Amino acid sequence: MAAAAHSWQTDPAHDSDTARDPRPADRPRLTTEQTRIRISTTHRPFTERPLKLTDALDFWQFAGAAANVIMQMARPGVGYGVAESKVESGSLLKRPWKRARTTTQYLAVAILGDEEEKKAFREAVNGAHRQVRSEPGAPVRYNAFDRDLQLWVAACLYIGFEDTYQLLSGRMSPEQNEAFYRSSSSLGTTLQVTEDMWPATRAEFDEYWNTACEQAVLDDFVRAYLDDLLNLRMIGWYLRIPFRNLLKFLTIGFLSPWFREQLRVEWTAADQRRFENLFLFVGFVNRFIPRFFRHGGSHALMADVRRRVEKQKNLI
């Protein structure tokens, strides 16, 4: 979920999101089986109640963060905007810890913040966005204020929350899923996405998602950038060596078949069983961890935002 603070535009005359797609024009449409990960367990009966996005603030949500970045950057406008960005203070590869903080705080503000706090964070992000635009004649043109690609980024963030929640707690009922989805539009509207742009129902979101994924096509330039992320080349070897394999496993597990194909990584049936079994275990343990502890990280991030606002310190 680490690319929330950047979103990009492709010029209609140079629509790289479709022009770089190597598949034939008469290709079959993508299906949910291709664009979503598999959730094999059902929701626990004693938690059959209406759900909101605030129910998905467990610290386990960060397990799929790198996968979410890959999904976002699979759109060429987003991918090139991140990889070519001159805003070094927010660079994922040059300032990974700061980028992680600002992105997770964006999510905390979008979900927990009031209107004034959202406005303050929006203005801070806009300040960085003004510097993110492509050079004249660039093969992929982007501008950080495009609402359509902000919608794509917000949709990826929503997918991340929904997938992580269901891996931990089981597949939601249609009624729960609808209620959960209705609470999620702030993932985009905290920036420039308007409420009417966010698909009105969960079924409409599925239609939007499958269609939008057809424009999520990685090329070698963005794939090389993501390879650095996947192999943790932006952090010291003392952290890279013990965590690289785990990050790869979790990241690929959180990617649907379509995004694995774009990244050109392998995922076997045995890998899928290990991934599902891991989250069966984690989900079981999670039941015994108090909610205030599981959600404490998001509330601590929100408290830091409020402290920064009060002391007039930089938010990003």
Q: What are the per-10-residue average pLDDT scores of the chain (316 residues)?
A: 41 41 66 95 71 94 94 94 81 85 95 96 89 82 88 97 95 93 96 96 98 96 94 85 93 98 97 96 93 95 95 89
Q: Does 141 reside within a domain? A: yes
Distance of alpha carbon 164 from the chain centroid: 11
pLDDT at res. 35: 98
Pull the structure tokens for residue 289.
């961890």
Please name the residue ranges forming H helices in the chain.
16-19, 32-35, 65-73, 76-84, 96-112, 115-129, 147-169, 174-182, 186-189, 202-213, 220-230, 237-253, 257-263, 269-286, 291-294, 296-310
Burial class (CB in 10 A: 0-12, 13-18, 19+), 188: buried
pLDDT at 88: 74
- Residue 86 forms part of a structural domain: yes
**Token pair of 23, please?**
């598949």
**Which residue range forms the structural domain that includes residue 62?**
30-310
Residue 134 is assigned to a structural domain of this protein: yes
**Cα torsion 174, 180, 183, 184: sign:** negative
Which helix (DSSP H) or strand (DSSP E) does residue 313 occupy? none
Write down the pLDDT at residue 10: 42
pLDDT of res. 269 = 96
* Angle, CA of 206, 207 and 210, to the nearest 5°: 80
Cα Rg, the chain, nearest whole Å = 19
Nearest-angstrom CA–CA distance, 316 and 72: 20
pLDDT number for residue 40: 87
- In a 10 Å sphere around its CB, with 0-12 CB exposed, 13-18 middle and 19+ buried, how is residue 75 labelled? buried
**How high is the pLDDT of residue 157?**
98
In a domain, 295, yes or no: yes
In this prediction, residue 6 carries a pLDDT of: 40
**199 exposed, middle or buried (CB, 10 Å; 0-12, 13-18, 19+)?**
middle
| 13 within domain boundaries | no
In a domain, 282, yes or no: yes
Q: Could you tell me the CA-to-CA distances from 245 to 42, 72, 229, 239, 306 in Å, in that order?
A: 29, 22, 12, 11, 36
- For residue 248, being part of any structural domain is answered with yes
pTM, two decimal places: 0.90
Residue 16 resides in a domain: no
- Locate tokens 């204020």: which residue? 145
Domain total in the chain: 1
Calculate helix-pair angle for 147-169, 174-182, nearest 10 degrees: 140
